[in-house]
């Protein structure tokens, strides 16, 4: 029988991966700032048309802007943490699904353990199985 199992993909922090993550965080932060500016612009444009209830319109836009501001704060925190982490630290990147063969007589404890794939600068360096 085959089952699906979640496998954690971890990245080892190197100077190159730190720079790449830093650039990704900064780009995401800039994108959120652009979205906030666009939302402010759209709010002003719609307020000028006076087709919609100003209060409900403003509260909807403010809620969207606030969500983006919170994401920006999270990115700022992640940037701070990224610079504090020592090189060689393992960072959880994502989770993927793997197909595992299960047979009668297999040790369930070994099969149900959390396997991991370790990546360093884009190359798989280790596969930790059960």
- Condensed to tens digits (0 to 9), the pLDDT of residues 81-91 reads 999 999 999 99
- The predicted pLDDT at position 112 comes to 81
- Residue pointed to by tokens 């090189």: 87
- The predicted pLDDT at position 95 comes to 94
- The predicted pLDDT at position 118 comes to 94
- The predicted pLDDT at position 52 comes to 65
Q: What is the mean pLDDT of residues 98-108?
A: 89
Q: What is the mean pLDDT of residues 97-109?
A: 89
Could you give the C-alpha distances from 20 to 26, 33, 57, 66, 111, in angstroms and in order?
10, 20, 38, 27, 34
pTM of the predicted model, to two decimals? 0.74
């Amino acid at each position: 029988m085959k089952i699906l199992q979640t496998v954690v993909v971890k990245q080892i922090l190197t100077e190159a991966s730190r720079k790449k993550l830093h650039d990704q965080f900064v780009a995401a932060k800039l994108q959120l700032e652009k979205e906030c500016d666009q939302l402010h612009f759209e709010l002003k444009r719609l307020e000028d048309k006076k087709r919609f209830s100003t209060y409900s319109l403003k509260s909807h836009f403010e809620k969207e802007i606030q969500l983006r501001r919170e994401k920006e704060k999270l990115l700022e925190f992640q940037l701070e943490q990224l610079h504090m982490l020592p090189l060689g630290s393992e960072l959880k990147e994502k989770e993927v699904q793997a197909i595992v063969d299960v047979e009668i007589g297999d040790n369930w404890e070994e099969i149900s353990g959390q396997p991991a794939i370790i990546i360093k600068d884009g190359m798989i360096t280790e596969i930790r199985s059960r």
